[in-house]
Amino acid sequence: MGGDNLDVCRDLPDASFQVIYLDPPFNTGRRQTRSTLTTRRSDAGGRVGFKGQTYETVRGRVTSYDDEFADYWGFLEPRLEEAWRLLTASGTLYLHLDYREVHYAKVLLDALFGRECFLNEIIWAYDYGARTTKRWPAKHDTILVYVKSPDAYYFDSAEVDREPYMAPGLVTPEKAARGKLPTDVWWHTIVSPTGREKTGYPTQKPLGVLRRIIAASSRPGDWVLDFFAGSGTTGAAASELGRRFVLVDANPEAIEVMRRRFEGIDVEYSSHSRL
């Protein structure tokens, strides 16, 4: 779908998606001045979260940052609230951010979902692009993983792709042939600028990363949602794995890239450019 993803999400039914993957803009241009950041659960709190929990403060004085930062979190928070509503009881949210914002997102998601629903912090490491000599070069993104219910979430490690053992001689030949289950640190190269996977969309994510997410946290036939869909990689991975999907993006360039990418696949378009 094209258009404001918050409006679109509010029209979707409760508990209808098994996996929600979000790769929002990273807000990299802001300048930080000062901060006050606290999270404290309190029966007398003025903020009511999910499950009836109340909080005195979730993000503290977010306005103590500049306007770009305040606007960013004012933009993202209601969309994360919708993600919670849209997840099934066994569902999982994957929120993909970079090092500039991920720690703020962790505090916010702890409040929205509950700290007991935090499952993993995945580090996606890659090696491409410019290298600074003035600090440690940043070569990773972070994916925060939260489940709707800590007692009912779905995770199938048997469906996850395997990685080679670093010391295959230390395990049995059978284990070496099968490979090991990935940890929470994933090495995966970015989409090659000259490779067949490249769509031309500037922030395209690799199919391998999305395949792993969808294979682990959903079953064939389940619904997957991405409402910052960009190049449509989430839908491409879901389609390959036999999942159904809804993609949403307001950028006309993204909609056109997805139209080309899903040419030949049975996809319905509406007045909102539904995919």
Question: Per-residue pLDDT averaged across 109-128, rounded?
Answer: 94
- Domain CATH for 200: 3.40.50.150
pLDDT given at position 65: 36
d(CA 253, CA 258): 9
| 118 within some domain | yes
Assess if residue 246 is contained within a domain: yes
Asked if the structure places residue 266 within a domain, the reply is no
Asked if the structure places residue 89 within a domain, the reply is yes
pLDDT for 37 = 41
Cβ 108 vs Cβ 35: under 8 Å: no
- Does some domain include residue 213? yes
pLDDT at 201: 73
User: Is 275 a domain residue?
Assistant: no
Q: What is the number of structural domains in the chain?
A: 1
| pLDDT for residue 182 is more than 50 | yes
Q: Residue 271's CB: how many other CB atoms inside 10 A?
A: 8
Q: Please state the pTM of the whole predicted model.
A: 0.81
Mean pLDDT within 214-228: 97
Q: pLDDT grade, residue 109 (50/70/90)?
A: very high
Q: Which domain holds residue 219?
A: 5-261
Q: For residue 151, what pLDDT is reported?
A: 97
* Residue 24 included in any domain: yes
Convert 21-54 to b/e letters by CB count within 10 Å (16 or more is b). bbbbebbeebeeeeeeeebeeeeeeeeebeeeee
